[in-house]
Amino acid sequence: MRSRSRRKSYSLRNSGINPSGFHPSQIQFYIILAPVVAFMLVPIIFIVSNAFKPPEELFAYPPRFFVVNPTGKNFADLFTLFSASDVPVSRYLFNSIMVTVVSMAASLIVSSTAAFALSKKRFKLKQTLFAVNTVALMFVPVAVAIPRFLIIARLGLINSALVHVLPALAMPVGLFLLKQFIDSIPNDVIEAAQIDGASDLQIYWRIVLPMVKPALATIAILTFQATWNNADTSAMYINVEGLKTFAFYLSTLSSTTTGANLVAGQGMAAAAALIMFVPNLLLFIILQSQVMSTMSHSGLKG
């Protein structure tokens, strides 16, 4: 039976339906996918092109998509402004790196341990807690801005470095995604480990985490993007300049330049947008294979 299945699969590959290598029948897929890929690349190309436009091209009408006379003056002006800042820019950058790393690690630990408990442990109100998390997926950050501010103020986290990290721990989509992954792990595997004397911590660390790596990579990317690009926390909860992040500093470039410096401010803002975008792109390229595994797994039942 197995040999018949293999022969059938081999014949399908060689008939052009699902070839292992390139086959002329695949041209139709390239014709469909090539425009889609080009469309998805448009924002990336625009960000890169915009960062190297001279002022006359930034304000040209009609607007130009591609840069005609590329220049590095925007980056030179940006680094000059960095050196003239009262607070060293390295301080903003250090804050962003530390906040992002700590938030990613804490979010992964909190989401994975909570998902493990909701998936494989038995306790009262388990379904209720998961239902609350599912309902939380419906709310966008703007809808909970006022309640979040009141909670942070009551906890005394205003002007505290913890205000950058603690709100990031509540990540409903991360908990939901990880629980769905852990649900697909057979209970027999967990029970066998318990019979062998493994503790809950050992099961979590040695069995669960290695089997949900694609979901962890996806959550790491989502947490990185939300934290690295977040300028609202510094604007709303931080009054101490030394605790603000690099994203907040870059977001003020165009708004703090007036008069004759307005044009230069737009150029620096374009260069800053590219600087903020590159780490997101690099992280996705590094972890994209894991993300693709997450997407393929999401359509399968455990």
Is residue 32 located within the same domain as residue 117? no
Give the per-residue pLDDT at 255.
59
Is residue 139 located within the same domain as residue 279? yes
DSSP string computed for 181-204: HHHTS-HHHHHHHHHTT--HHHHI
3-class DSSP assignment, residue 271: helix
Give the per-residue pLDDT at 142.
83
Average pLDDT of the chain to the nearest whole number: 83
pLDDT < 50: residue spans in the chain? 1-2, 5, 7-16, 258-260, 299-302
Q: Which is nearest to 69 in space by CA: 49, 98, 86?
A: 49
What are the pLDDT digits (tens) for 115-141?
Answer: 999 999 989 999 999 999 999 888 888
Is residue 130 located within the same domain as residue 249? yes
Domain that holds residue 148: 89-297
- CATH number, domain of 93, equals 1.10.3720.10
Residue 240, domain member (yes or no): yes
With beta carbons less than 8 A apart as the criterion, state whether 233 and 163 touch: yes
Give the per-residue pLDDT at 264.
61
* Dist. CA 104–CA 112, nearest whole Å: 12
Q: Which is nearest to 243 in space by CA: 153, 165, 156, 161?
A: 161
Q: Which is nearest to 237 in space by CA: 137, 138, 300, 168?
A: 168
Is residue 278 located within the same domain as residue 142? yes
What are the pLDDT digits (tens) for 182-227?
Answer: 998 999 999 999 999 999 999 999 999 999 988 899 899 999 999 9
Lookup: tokens for 82: 């960095």
Residue 7, domain member (yes or no): no
Q: How many domains does the chain have?
A: 2
